[in-house]
Amino acid sequence: MSQRLRLNPIACEAHGMCAELLPERIMLDEWGYPVIDGEPLEPALVDHAKRAAQSCPTFALLLERDRTRD
């Protein structure tokens, strides 16, 4: 079962922790907000993604199970 990252753009306040913890998949735009592609995460990155989501000060980063591929 694959997992994906999703952002709550209303909650996000551009702290930028996520991009520090998961630079492989998250970059920041010119205003400091994360750009997330929403593609399934490769298994090697899931733990890092989990840490990025848990570290978000506003709980704006969500790690979601991909329901379509399980």
Partner 1 sequence: MTGSSPLMTDAPPIAEPDVAPALPRLLAGIPAHGAMSLQEHLTVHGPAPVSGKRGRRNPSALIDRIDRAGLGGRGGAGFPTATKMRAVAGARRRAIVVANAAEGEPASLKDRTLLQKLPHLVLDGAILAAEAIGADEAIICVCESAVATVDSAAQAIDERLRTSRQSSSAMAELRSDRSPRLQLATVPQHYVAGQESALVNHLNGGPAIPTFTPPMPFEAGVRRRPTLINNAETLAHIALIARHGSQWFRQLGTPTQPGSTLVTLSGPVAHPGVYEIEHGASLASLLEAAGGTTARLRAALVGGYAGSWIGEERLRGLALSDEHLAPHGASMGAGVVLLLGEEACPVAETARAARWLAGQSTGQCGPCIYGLDALATTVEEIAGGLVTATAMQRLDRLASLVSRRGACGHPDGAVNFILSAADTFATEFADHARHGRCDACAQPGVLPLPAQPGKPTVPRKAVVR
Q: Which residues bind partner 1 (CB under 8 A)?
A: 8-14, 29-33, 35
Q: Which two tokens stand for residue 27?
A: 């970059």
d(C-alpha 13, C-alpha 10), whole Å: 8
CB of 12 to partner 1, least distance (A): 6
CB atoms within 10 A of CB 61: 24
Q: Give the residue from 14, 55, 22 showing the smallest Cα distance to 39.
A: 22
CB of 70 to partner 1, least distance (A): 18
Q: Which is nearer to partner 1, 31 or 68 (CB)?
A: 31
CB of 51 to partner 1, least distance (A): 22
